[in-house]
Amino acid sequence: MEFRVLGPFEVLDRDAPVALGAAKERALLAQLLIARGAPVPTDRLIDGLWQGRSPATAVKSVHVYVSHLRKALGDERLVTQAGGYALRLDARELDAARFEERLSEGQRLLEEGDAAAAAKVLRAGLSLWRGPPLTDFVYDDFAQREIARLEELRLSALEARAEADLALGRHAELVPELEALVAEHPTRERLRGRLMLALYRSGRRADALERFRSGRRHLQAELGIEPGPELRALHDAMLRQDPELDGPAPHRAVRARARGRPWRLAAAGLVVIAGAVGAALALHGGAGDTQVVLDGDAVGIADPRTGSVSSALSVPGTPDALAAADGRVWAVADVARTLTSFDASSRRVRSSVAPGGEPSDVAAAAGRVRTIDQRRHRLVEIDPAYNQVAGRPVRLPRAPALGVPNPGPPPGPWRIAATADAVWATNGLDRLIRVDVASGRVRTIATGRPLTGVAAAGGAIWALSGPSASVLRVAQRTGRVTDTIALGRSREDRRGRARPPAPAAACGS
């Protein structure tokens, strides 16, 4: 259930959004959500709805609004309590609460010296923001305190994440973001200090000192005060080139394994390389003369000739998978539940979409972009022109269609690949699922061995079986397994067992 009454926050999480009626109903719900489960007296609700100019029928109107909300939310959600009303919420249902939880955890990790974990947690928290808070109620008195509180927490999270990134040597990447934040909040000295330090460590000492002077001029003109002791101490340390300001070496990312995957991954073009014994399945490609790789909690831009990563782009949450088409790269983050796209040549983020559920992979082909909702077992299409969900999702089989008794939950995350006419998916079981683009028809193809990944390249579909150390070549049109390529010793071989013979190609529906 999605409510946009809190601006960037998705308040409740159900399969279908709830349509709310009049503005007063949304304002009533907003007041109850701000209270986070505490009862709100009817008199206070009336003051918030009519700003102290309530009509004689105010109490009756509140009863009508509550009745409408109960039809939308359920009687068990909105209860009468203590001369007013309360909205029963679990803390995990409110994105604002989840954000605050991650902010607190990130600050704790930062204090303990774990900058990498802190940066990851803080990014996940900040990814829950999709705009200013309570945008529908910026002129309503009841919302002012909450707006100010949430904005302050967001700035605190940005400052903490910047501090974590500085500790990780990401100073050059931070400069553009911090420049924009300081311009928006010129009196916030901690942000200015992070910007000065990022510039200093990037070899821009003159620019760092100028940011101090411009901040000092602004504080004197607007507030008649001098910079605080922390900012002055930082300025003095820069003047004497204190070695303690140097910090860690600049961030030099290396190709990192995608979380939970047994192969390395790059975006755009997706070419499968199956080598000799001991090789692994790699997905390579480029956009123009660049290569895009998963790089820890960011997306790295690499030189395709040397493989070295020259820069990294931050995306909401931690990227788990990449895809590319038409010069545009898509990164999916299941923790943040977002799909972010950016231009590979300009290296600028173009959009961030919340496709719903828990996206675990993304594929792009023929002008279409699709992600897989791991929680609801469905394929979701994104319209790249409008950056929003297009059409109805296609539900995928939850259990094996191969007669396996008591299959239980799928052993691995869903992975997908796409061609012009079909999308291919697997979730660790011994099957491929083919979804026809034109008709939406879902077809199951038996493979005889568990699959841990899938890719489309060279006019064929390639399925990786990590446990059996092999790659299967699958014909796009018929779905037949036409070839099996051994990559090395299987898990059974390493345990001293005999490798079972390769199964005959199987095709089912």
> Is residue 270 domain-shared with residue 340, that is, in the same domain?
yes
> Residues 159, 182: one domain?
no
Residues 188 and 215 in one domain: yes
- Residue 445 is assigned to a structural domain of this protein: yes
Instruction: Choose one of 138, 165, 192: the last residue of a domain.
Output: 165
Residue 337 is predicted with a pLDDT of 73
**Residue 48 included in any domain:** yes
- Do the Cβ atoms of 416 and 454 come closer than 8 Å? yes
Domain boundary among 165, 196, 218: 165
Averaged pLDDT for residues 482-505: 50
Q: What is the pLDDT of residue 312?
A: 66
Distance CA 94, CA 37 (A): 11
- Check the CA dihedral 198-202-208-209 and report its sign: positive
Q: Are strands 368-373 and 378-383 parallel, antiparallel or unpaired?
A: antiparallel
Q: For the segment 108-154, what is each residue's pLDDT rounded down to a tens digit?
A: 999 988 999 999 999 999 988 877 888 889 889 999 999 999 999 99
pLDDT the model gives residue 427: 84
Q: Give residue 301's pLDDT.
A: 67
Q: Mean pLDDT for the chain?
A: 76
CA distance 142 to 273: 60
Residue 39 lies in a domain: yes
pTM of the model: 0.51
Q: What are the backbone angles phi and psi of residue 302, rounded to the nearest 5°?
A: -120, 155
pLDDT of residue 22: 77
Most confident of 34-48, 287-301, 321-335: 34-48
pLDDT at 447: 86
Higher-confidence position of 215 and 498: 215
What pLDDT is recorded for position 62? 94
Measured CA distances, 244 to 159, 208, 248 (Å): 20, 16, 10
What tens digit of pLDDT does each residue of 381-413 get? 888 777 778 878 888 886 544 334 444 444 567
CA–CA distance, 333 with 322 (Å, rounded to integer): 9
In a domain, 351, yes or no: yes
pLDDT band at 373 (very low <50, low <70, confident <90, very high): confident
Residue 228 lies in a domain: yes
Pick left, alpha or beta for residue 171 (phi over 0 → left; psi -120 to 50 → alpha; otherwise beta). alpha
Together in a domain, 127 and 213: no
Q: In this structure, are residues 234 and 193 in contact, taking their beta carbons and an 8 Å threshold?
A: yes
Q: Is the pLDDT of residue 428 over 60?
A: yes
pLDDT digits (tens, 9 = 90+) for 18-65: 556 678 899 999 999 999 889 999 999 999 999 888 899 999 999 999
Which residues, including other chains, have CB under 8 Å from residue 390's CB and lie 6 or more apart? 381, 382, 383
Share of the chain above pLDDT 70, in %: 73
- The predicted structure's pLDDT at residue 477: 80
The answer, yes or no, to whether residue 4 has pLDDT greater than 60, is no
Residues 365 and 229 in one domain: no
Region of residue 428 (phi > 0: left; psi between -120 and 50: alpha; otherwise: beta): left
Which CATH number covers residue 54?
Answer: 1.10.10.10
**In terms of domains, do 325 and 397 share one?**
yes
* 375 domain residue, yes or no: yes
Q: From CA 29, how far away is CA 37, in angstroms rounded?
A: 11
Q: Judge if 336 and 386 occupy the same domain.
A: yes
Residue 340: give the domain boundaries: 266-494
How many Å from the N-terminal Cα to the C-terminal Cα in the chain?
34
Distance in angstroms (rounded) separating the CA atoms of residues 476 and 457: 10
Looking at the fold, whether 282 and 359 belong to one and the same domain comes out as yes
Residue 424 has pLDDT above 70, yes or no: yes
Provide the domain count of the chain: 3
Please check whether residue 78 lies inside any domain of the structure: yes
Least confident of 21-30, 346-355, 437-446: 346-355
pLDDT value of position 179: 93
Q: How confident is the model at residue 309 (pLDDT cuts 50, 70, 90)?
A: low
CA gap 259, 265 in Å, rounded: 11
243 DSSP assignment: G
Look at residues 165, 185, 209 and tell me which one is the last residue of a structural domain: 165
**205-238 per-position pLDDT tens digit:** 999 999 999 999 999 999 999 999 999 999 999 9
Can you point out the beta strands (E) in 151-304? 266-267, 271-273, 282-284, 291-295, 298-302
pLDDT > 90? residue 462: no
pLDDT tens for residues 66-77? 999 998 888 888
273 and 364: one domain?
yes
Instruction: Say how far apart CA 414 and CA 361 lie, in whole Å.
Output: 7
Nearest to 460 by CA among 410, 425, 417: 417
What CATH number does the domain containing 431 carry?
2.130.10.10
Please indicate, yes or no, whether residues 70 and 191 belong to a single structural domain of this protein: no
Q: Same structural domain for residues 295 and 362?
A: yes
Residues 121 and 135 in one domain: yes
Residue 62 lies in a domain: yes
Beta-carbon contacts of 213 under 8 Å, excluding residues fewer than 6 positions away, are: none
